[in-house]
């Protein structure tokens, strides 16, 4: 199928009165339906007294239907791939470990890996199951002479966010369609082009499957959260869904709290959280599943006690979402290594290891087509290189030289989540000059994805006391699609399901894409041909 949609025609033209009306409809719907953030504050109050609506787009963003279907189709392959990477300890040790891998030069990764290895060596990993709530992120890619395609930005294995608010945003745009018809501004704006998004139920189902596998009905799920979390309204709907649809209760604690409240029984490996006996008879709660909405950045572990608390949770028989192994599997270096020859086949086509549970060559190739070219800055004569000439030259500085020469078409990525960590284009040469040689192993170079030019939207952010205006801003944008799934797995069987989607949209002049970090707004899909 050939794409016929003209991205430069988006968004449709509106009069001033129409724009003001849509902004009012959108902001009041968001405030009425939990599409919310806590407002910025030096310290969040224990009991919130106010909220603002999350940053949103007024129109859904156009996305080719066949590429949306492709992104959903390949999610199963990605789930299986990352499940098998997670259970291949030798591979993770080699790529991410503190002896030969990224952990040698990245203290955060090294700390996690060393704690995980110590638990392995001392036989203190009693739970063989891993639970993942995943999100695979894509941008549209418009290469010269090629049909429009999708390319993966990254695969997220810890604290995947905006599942709940993405569903709310899709509902917001359907509401605007029903309430106004978008003033008949475009023939594309019809109900059949607005895909269903039931991410809340899907992600809660994944957590419920972990709870069920643990097998103690009266146990609870622990949400490990960050202090002063502004994005609480993305997390609470999962709690409500688990309680109302699955009769599973939730307890929320930060690492600071868990340092003193968490304990693991040395005989049974049961994880218990101490709470006030006024709240829970007996004064403690048994935990079936640990769901991390924290723990993905170094500043989540300001002291060694915080790391030790993470390792304590890991040593219990509660099911972790994710385990340390699964968190390490989501590293950017793993993403780069997967592009090297033979690596996908190792995990997806190895009949000797996986029997008939292998993927077809067509499925593997479709997944491979979602990769952008990338390489490690430490690439040299003993490593797989992106081109034959460089390989034959045996040039140890190839990775850095190639990044310097191609800087304007690259992004450099470290082993970090949460946005705001990458180095782009013009900033790359100076960064390379300052990067110690021994730290190159922690960085990858990735060719920039090229989204369609001149696509636009109206972006609406909540006002404040100092700036009460909520005038939507029309700007050229880039939209990123995320596909959610869950997977529960051990050494052999992988149970998984694709459960929903997310769209984040940012101004084209912004390199970073995080909503929580202020770069993007929440958006939804308009499927086009």
Query: Which residues are identified as catalytic?
Result: 135, 154, 156, 161, 332, 413, 417-418, 504
Nearest to 162 by CA among 222, 237, 77: 237
CA angle centred on 323, ends 330 and 124, rounded to 5°: 140
Task: Reduce the DSSP state of residue 272 to 3 states and report it.
Answer: strand
Nearest to 477 by CA among 412, 521, 528: 521
Strands (E), 142-280: 149-156, 220-224, 250-253, 262-264, 271-274
Measured between alpha carbons, how far is 502 from 160 in angstroms, rounded to an integer? Answer: 11
Binding residues for ATP: 154, 332, 413-422, 424, 446-449, 480, 506, 512
Measured between alpha carbons, how far is 526 from 177 in angstroms, rounded to an integer? Answer: 11
Measured between alpha carbons, how far is 238 from 201 in angstroms, rounded to an integer? Answer: 8
Binding residues for Mg(2+): 154, 156, 417
List, as one string, the DSSP characters of 481-502. Answer: EEEEEEEEE-SS-EEEEEEEEE
Binding residues: 135, 154, 156, 158-161, 229-231, 235, 293-296, 332, 413-422, 424, 446-449, 480, 504, 506, 512, 515-516
Q: Judge if the upstream peptide bond of residue 322 is cis by omega within 30 degrees of 0.
A: yes
Within 8 A by CB and 6+ apart from 73, the residues are 366
Q: Residue 483 in contact with residue 154, Cβ under 8 Å?
A: no
Place of tokens 């006996």: 277
Measured between alpha carbons, how far is 78 from 70 in angstroms, rounded to an integer? Answer: 12
Which helix (H) or strand (E) is 78 found in, with range? helix 75-86
């Amino acid at each position: 199928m050939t794409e016929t949609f003209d991205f430069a025609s988006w968004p449709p033209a509106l009069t001033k009165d129409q724009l003001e009306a849509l902004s009012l409809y959108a902001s009041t719907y968001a405030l009425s339906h939990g599409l919310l953030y806590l407002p910025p504050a030096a310290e969040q109050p224990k009991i919130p007294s106010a909220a603002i609506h999350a940053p949103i787009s007024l129109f859904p963003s156009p996305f080719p239907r066949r590429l949306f279907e492709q992104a959903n189709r390949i999610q199963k392959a990605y789930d299986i791939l990352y499940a098998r990477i997670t259970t291949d300890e030798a591979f993770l040790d080699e790529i991410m470990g503190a002896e030969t891998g990224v952990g040698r030069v990245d203290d955060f990764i090294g700390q996690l890996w060393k704690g995980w290895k110590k638990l392995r060596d001392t036989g203190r990993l009693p739970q063989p199951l891993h639970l993942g709530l995943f999100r695979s992120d894509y941008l549209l890619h418009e290469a010269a002479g090629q049909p429009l395609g999708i390319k993966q930005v990254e695969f997220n294995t810890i604290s995947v966010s905006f599942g709940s608010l993405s569903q709310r945003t899709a509902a917001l745009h359907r509401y605007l369609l029903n309430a106004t018809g978008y003033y008949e501004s475009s023939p594309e704006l019809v109900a059949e082009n607005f895909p269903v998004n039931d991410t809340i139920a899907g992600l809660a189902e994944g957590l419920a499957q972990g709870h069920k596998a643990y097998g103690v009905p009266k146990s609870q799920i622990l949400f490990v959260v960050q202090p002063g979390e502004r994005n609480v309204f993305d997390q609470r709907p999962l709690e409500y869904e688990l309680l109302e649809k699955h009769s599973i209760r939730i307890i929320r604690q930060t690492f600071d709290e868990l340092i003193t409240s968490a304990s693991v029984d040395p005989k049974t490996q049961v994880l218990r959280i101490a709470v006030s006996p006024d709240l829970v008879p007996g004064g403690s709660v048994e935990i079936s599943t640990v769901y991390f909405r924290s723990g993905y950045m170094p500043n989540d572990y300001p002291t060694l006690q915080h790391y030790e608390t993470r390792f304590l949770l890991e040593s219990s028989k509660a099911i972790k979402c994710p385990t340390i192994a699964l968190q390490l599997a989501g590293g950017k270096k793993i993403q780069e290594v997967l592009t090297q020859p033979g690596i996908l086949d190792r995990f997806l086509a190895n009949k000797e290891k996986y029997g008939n549970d292998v993927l077809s060559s067509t499925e593997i190739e479709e997944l491979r087509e979602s990769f952008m070219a990338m390489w490690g800055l430490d690439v040299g004569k003993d490593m797989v290189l992106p081109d034959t000439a460089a390989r034959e030259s045996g040039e140890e500085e190839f990775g850095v030289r190639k990044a310097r020469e191609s800087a304007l078409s690259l992004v450099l990525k470290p082993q970090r989540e949460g946005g705001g960590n990458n180095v782009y284009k013009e900033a790359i040469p100076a960064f390379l000059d300052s990067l110690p040689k021994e730290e190159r192993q922690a960085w990858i170079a990735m060719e920039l994805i090229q989204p369609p030019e001149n696509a636009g939207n109206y972006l609406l952010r909540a006002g404040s006391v100092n700036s009460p205006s909520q005038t939507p801003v029309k700007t050229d944008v880039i939209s990123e699609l995320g596909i959610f799934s869950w997977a529960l797995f051990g050494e052999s069987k992988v149970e998984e399901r694709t459960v929903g989607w997310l769209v984040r949209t940012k101004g084209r002049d912004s390199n970073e894409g995080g909503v929580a970090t202020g770069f993007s707004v929440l958006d939804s899909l308009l499927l086009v041909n």
